[in-house]
Each structure stands twice: as C-alpha cells, then as structure tokens.
Chain A
Amino acid sequence: MKVEELKATAAQVRRDIVRMVHGCQSGHPGGSLGCTDLVTALYFHAMKIDDSKGADGYLNFSKEGKGEDLFFLSNGHISPLFYSVLARRGYFDIKEMTTFRKINSRLQGHPATHEHLPGIRVASGSLGQGLSVANGAAYAKKLRKEDNVVYVLMGDGEQQEGQIWEAAQFAPHYKLDNLVAIVDWNKQQIDGSTDKVMDNRDLKAKYQAFGWLTVDLLDGNDMQQVLDALAAAKALLGKGQPVVILMKTEMGAGVDFMMYTHKWHGTAPNDEQLAAALAQLPETLGDY
C-alpha cells in the first residue's frame, strides 16, 4: 500500500479508536492513537500475512501462522487500535467494533484468545510478557526454518517490568535475527512522565548493551518515517541479532487536545470531545 493510502487508513483507524472508547466510556485512547501509524503500516504494508478468505468473506486465521509474519501486542491496553486494524484488514466485521468492552463481546478490554477473536494469538494486558512470547514464536520459526518476521510492540512504561529484560537477554543469546521489537517511546505513563515515575534512561544504550541492533524512529507519527524504519529494521535481519525500533511517538497523536499529556492514557471522551476529535479525523473508509 502506498503512503497516502496508509495515511488515509490510519485516519480511519483513529476514528474507530475514539468512537470505540467513547462507545463504552472506557479504554485507552492515548497510546492507541500514538501507535496507530505503526500498526497500520505493519498490517497494511510490512507484514506478510495469509490473504486467503474463508466462506464468510473474512481472512482465514490460524494461530500457528505458518509461513506468515506474526505480530504480538505486549502493551495490550491499546486494544482499540489492534481491533480496528484487524477489522479493517479483514479479519472480522467492522460492525463488531460496537461491542468493544461490552458484555458478551469478543473485543475484550485487553486482547484475548478466549473468545476466539481472529487475529489474536495470545492474551496481553498484564505488562511485560509479550517479548517473551515473541521470543518463543521467533525461536519456533527458526526451528522450522521459516523465513518470516516476528514483530512485537511494547510500551515504554512497560520497560520498567523485569521480565522485559529477561526476554531482552534471551533473544540475542539465541540469535533471533527474525525478531523485530518496537518500543513506543512516548515518555508517558499513567502516573505522569516516565522520567518522573521511573526513569527508563537510555533505552537505546540498554538494548545495545543486551546485544540488540537498534533503529531510531524519530517520529512514529509520520507514516513515511514509519515505513523507512520498518524497511531499515528488515535490512538488519539475518545478521545474528534481534532488532529493536525505538519509536518516538506522541500519545494521543491526531487529536490535538489528547496530545502532550498523559491524561488521555485511560480516559474516554464525552460526546462533545468525541465530536471535536472526529472533526480532526477524516472518515476515509466509512465508519463502522
């Protein structure tokens, strides 16, 4: 997909996110909006996925994902983004987004496999676990000599979890050079800026010290830069080391009053705020 099309898709995904969070008056719009460009670029451009469709018209989905690139979302609270991208990509009916966080829904507050939502391979929400799962999936791809990439997205607040660093030492030890981790380095977490809550310090130097190759993505909300970073990461694969993209984003990107603050980490817009947000986001693919 070309960059202009990707931008248009991302705009629609952003509309979906704020509408979903508004619809149930809960959820996490800030990080979802911040990572929209990346996850859109992954599913509509970078990742090789099975494009065959079932009798119901939706994409066939296998948890195993043989022959496919895989994506794991570790910071599961940005589930509205994940659901919108999966639905827009064709895994399920976009109308199902109306059920987000409501009773009897497959679109749980945090991503889950339990209700068999196509596109989800593991539950996430309790932070710090996704990189380990991606390690296992990447290890399996290597064992089977599958020429695919495993992607995992993490938050920067999440880097405070100890398990991340257990996982960060595993991937280089086993030379998982088919693994691309992305850290959403937006410098915000629930209680304030990451610098104040628990300083991550130099994440790039940390990952390098652990044996990772790094790619700087200075503006993760600029689609062209996102594409360039993903291409740069791909070019570094196969060299005996895993790759991490350190992606600077703005929490709430695309909705001016949700940006430059941590306040929209986990807050839903009211009717007025929804209207103000939607006025900034063109309806490119048709609302659900």
Chain B
Amino acid sequence: MKKYTYTEKKDTRSGFGAGMAELGKSHPNVMALCADLVASLKLDAFIKENPDRFVQCGIAEANMIGVAAGLAIAGYVPYATTFANFGSGRVYDQIRQSVAYSSANVKIAVSHAGLTLGEDGATHQILEDLAMMRSMPEMTVINPCDYNQTKAATIALADHVGPAYLRFGRPVVPVFTDPNQEFVIGKAWMVNEGKDVTIVATGHLVWEAIQAGELLEQEGIDAEIINIHTIKPLDEEAILKSVEKTGCVVTAEEHQLNGGLGDAVCQLLSRKRPTPVEMVGVDNSFGESGTPAQLMEKYGLNAAAIVEKVKQVIARK
C-alpha cells in the first residue's frame, strides 16, 4: 500500500477560496457571486483584491443563478457560491433552464455538502445534490477530496467552458494530495494500485478509503483505490480497467446511495461489465445534528464501513 501522510488538516472550502484568490490574479473574467455566506465560502481574499468582480446577492439564490447566467452570456466566468443545499435543490429549475439548457458558462461552487456540515443538522445536510446535478444534461459534476485538490479543481474549471457543479465541505480534513497536482476534469486519480478489490471513492471518503486500504493490507487484502473527483463525466476507462483486474468494487461517497457515484459506477458496470458492487453512502435517510466524526460513524461513512463492504464484495466474487 502506497503511503499517504499529512502534516496539516484544512477544510476543502479553504481550497476553494485559495483557488479563487489565484483566479482573481490570473483570470480577469472570473467573477464571484455569493448569497450572504462570504466568510463560509472563504471568498475574503478574492473580494479584497477584486471588489469589482464580486456580486453580493443577498439571501436570494434563485436570482443569483439568473444573474450568473446573465454575466456568463456577457462573457464573464461567474462562480455562484452558497451552501450546497441552497445551490442545488433550492435552485434546481433556475440551474436547469437559465444555466444548463442555455449552455451558460456558470460554475456553481458550493460548500457544506453532506453530513460533515455537522451540528446544523439535516435541513442543511444535502445528500441528494450529486443525484440532481448528475441527471442534468450538459452539467459537469466535481467533488474534490482535500484542500489541494479543491484548489486545483477550482482553477481548472475557469478554463473549462460549460456549466459545472463544484461541491466541497466544511470540516478540516487531512491534506494529502500533491499541492502542485495537475487537475484534469473527468480523469480519475489512481491513489493505490492493488489486485483484490477496487475502491472507488470521492470527496471526504477518499481519505477514509486510504485508511481502509491500510487496514485491509494488514489482513492480506490488496486494495486498488481510485479517486473519482469528477462524478460526471465519469472516467469509465479507469474503472473498467481496474475491474478487469480486481473483479469487484466498493464505492464510497458522502451522499445518498440513490443517484450518486455508486449509482454511476453500477450503471457503467451493469452495461459494460457486470461485476459485484457494494456501496458506502447514506441509505435513504436524512442526517441529523452531531459532530462530523460522529455523523460519519453513525451513518457508516468511514474506513471501518469500507473495510466491511470490501469483505462482503470479495465474498461475492
């Protein structure tokens, strides 16, 4: 098992803020919009340097999406930001008509996705957003795993023409990916090569998958770990190639089992190469208040849960 270590923990949203600060310098057409959550989205640095390219929209997300579409029509590259809950379900129709169907070059960049939002509870813990955005034609969907990857994804999206949904989170988590990584939209990252099982993970579950890989190694199980940061378009080739070798898959995501990464992988495999799959995710349930760690434990979204699913899926080979 390839060793991954970290020296610090940071929140992925700060990676977004750092990416925006760089774009502020490098991309004069990039704009930031926010619905009264500037500090939460870590936009302070961008706003300080580029006050003219920031649009405070107030607590009016539907209008924000439309304003972003209008700016995109004029040739700007707007990043419309808020919490994932308010940047997906609340404005689904606005994104669908004014952005995706209109091919508007709008980036919807959202924080506090999933259970790890924590204490605010289920009203804010969106676990259905990947499903909504995945099903929308023309939409690119990205869920990076740590600070560095989120920063790299934020920057990469500025040169990607087309609507995109970039989802990240609130808690501090290990920073373990290369700070100078090249982020290619739609291209999986091979975290660890192995032969017994393929673990396909996204977002905060990538670090958990690495932890699971180490635990499995102690039991003599050699896990291949693939990070799918781009849920759509899915890197089908990377997954199919891995499955050819391992013959079974565990998917892991901070999202409902319905409609997320696991579903995407199952759809691919059932069509192209039927393979036993087990899925780690939230099973048809809302979340609740608690610390991020408590919630990930209670809802089965951690290394231990991945290890258990790996054993189940290997038994089905």
Contact = CB atoms under 8 A, between A and B. Distances in A.
Contact of A140 (B71, B97, B98, B101): B71
Contacts of A125: 97
Interface stretch (A131-139, A218-226, A276-284): A131-139
Nearest to B62: A163
Given A132-B70, A133-B73, A139-B55, A167 B63 contact: yes
B307 interface: no
Contact of A122 (B57, B73, B96): B73
A57 interface: no
A167 B69 CA distance: 13
Contact of B57 (A131, A133, A170): A170
Contacts of A135: 63, 66-67, 70
Q: Is the interface of A mostly helix, strand, loop or mixed?
A: helix
A197 B98 CA distance: 27
A64 B63 contact: no
Given A113-B103, A133-B66, A135-B66, A169 B58 contact: yes
Contacts of A9: none
B185 interface: no
B102 interface: yes
Chain B CB count within 10 A is highest, among A114, A124, A126, A170, for A170
Contacts of A163: 62-63, 66, 94
19 contacts: A63-B73, A121-B73, A121-B102, A122-B98, A122-B104, A126-B93, A130-B66, A132-B64, A135-B70, A136-B78, A137-B70, A137-B74, A138-B70, A139-B55, A162-B62, A167-B60, A170-B60, A170-B63, A174-B55
Interface of A: 63-66, 112-114, 121-126, 128-141, 143-144, 162-163, 166-167, 169-170, 173-174
Given A136-B71, A163-B66, 4 more contacts: A133-B73, A135-B70, A139-B67, A140-B73
Closest 3 CB pairs of A and B: A136-B70, A132-B66, A140-B74
